[in-house]
């Protein structure tokens, strides 16, 4: 999975990252789904350890173009995981109350506590993506936010939060097919605004490249996930999550003394 990790300060050209890439797995789609079920079980066990220990926190950030697969990734990668210790936070258009504060205020309120996994479906990065492309604030405002975000994430990491950030990389043709499927099968999920965003594809690619270049750090790395093939996307994200949690070397808390003599009547 290291091949998908963005090195701090590295130059990024998303045109050179193949969204159909599948080199980390030799099998076909069916074998990939079988492997994902094994990852689901391992993730379930690791999440239980995380929750029981109450010592670590995990923040998972998902970003993508519209129809990039954020919802599907959450649904498939976290299938079977105990919802008691897993939470999804969505960041849509800010409310009036949220706009009355700094742009990170609503984000900080959603970060994980001890033992929790929190998944950001979109995130604070919207403030250097859609805000930039839609010209909601001038360049001198959004351009300083990369530094804010790095410092914010550094603070979270210093205080015990493990951060993983995934950019789900699809191409424009794949988005077209997914939009067509959505319009046919889930019209309630389709918005005419999606087409406006699609018109801005080159500007969004430029904005995502700046995000990956300027905010992939040792304490909060970005992974560019090939996402045209949904099964492979899920495998990549699931594998990174499992390997990261295993690296925390978690243990169950020690039981209370003298439990051997306890009799339950």
**Residue 109 included in any domain:** yes
- Domain extent at residue 26: 2-247
**Residue 255 included in any domain:** no
**Residue 190 included in any domain:** yes
**Residue 264 included in any domain:** no
Q: What radius of gyration do the chain's Cα atoms show?
A: 20
Number of domains in the chain: 1
Q: What is the spatial distance between Cα 5 and Cα 210, in angstroms, rounded to a whole number?
A: 15
Tens-level pLDDT at each residue, the chain (265 residues): 889 999 998 999 999 999 999 988 877 888 988 999 999 999 999 999 999 999 999 999 999 999 999 999 999 999 989 888 999 999 989 999 999 999 999 999 999 999 999 999 999 999 999 999 999 999 999 999 999 999 999 999 999 999 999 999 999 999 999 999 999 999 998 888 889 999 999 999 999 999 999 999 999 999 999 999 999 999 999 999 999 999 998 999 887 777 777 777 7
Q: What is the spatial distance between Cα 165 and Cα 212, in angstroms, rounded to a whole number?
A: 10
The per-residue b/e assignment along 53-88, b for 16 or more CB within 10 angstroms, e otherwise, is eeebbbbbbbbbbbbbbbebbbebbbbebeeebbeb
CATH at 234:
3.40.50.300
**Residue 234 included in any domain:** yes
**Residue 262 included in any domain:** no
Lookup: tokens for 87? 């939470």
Q: In what order do the strands lie in the sheet with 86-90?
A: 86-90, 117-121, 57-64, 161-169, 222-226
**Residue 229 included in any domain:** yes
Kindly report, residue by residue over 164-200, the tens digit of the pLDDT: 999 999 999 999 999 999 999 999 988 888 899 999 9
**Residue 100 included in any domain:** yes
């Amino acid at each position: 999975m290291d091949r998908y990790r963005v090195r701090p300060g590295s130059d990024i050209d998303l045109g050179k990252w193949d969204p159909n890439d599948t080199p980390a797995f030799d099998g076909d789609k069916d074998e990939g789904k079988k492997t994902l079920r094994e990852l689901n079980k391992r993730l379930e066990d690791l999440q239980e350890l995380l929750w029981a220990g109450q010592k670590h926190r995990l923040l998972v950030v998902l970003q993508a173009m519209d129809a990039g697969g954020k919802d599907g990734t959450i649904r498939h990668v976290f299938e079977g995981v105990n919802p008691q210790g897993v939470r999804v936070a969505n960041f849509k258009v800010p409310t009036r109350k949220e706009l009355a504060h700094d742009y990170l205020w609503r984000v900080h309120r959603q970060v994980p506590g001890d033992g929790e996994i929190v998944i950001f479906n979109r995130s604070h990065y919207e403030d250097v993506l859609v805000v930039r492309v839609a010209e909601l604030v001038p360049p001198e405002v959004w351009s300083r936010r990369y530094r804010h975000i790095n410092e914010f994430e550094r603070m979270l990491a210093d205080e015990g939060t493990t951060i993983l950030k995934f950019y789900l990389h699809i191409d424009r043709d794949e988005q077209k097919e997914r939009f067509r499927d959505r319009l046919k099968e889930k019209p309630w999920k389709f918005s005419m605004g999606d087409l406006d965003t699609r018109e801005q594809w080159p500007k969004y690619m430029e904005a995502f490249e700046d995000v990956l270049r300027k905010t992939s750090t040792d304490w909060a790395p970005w992974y560019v996930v090939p996402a045209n093939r949904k099964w492979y996307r899920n495998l990549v994200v699931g594998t990174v999550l499992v390997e990261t949690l295993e690296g925390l070397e978690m243990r169950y808390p020690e039981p209370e003394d003298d439990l051997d003599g306890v009799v339950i009547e």
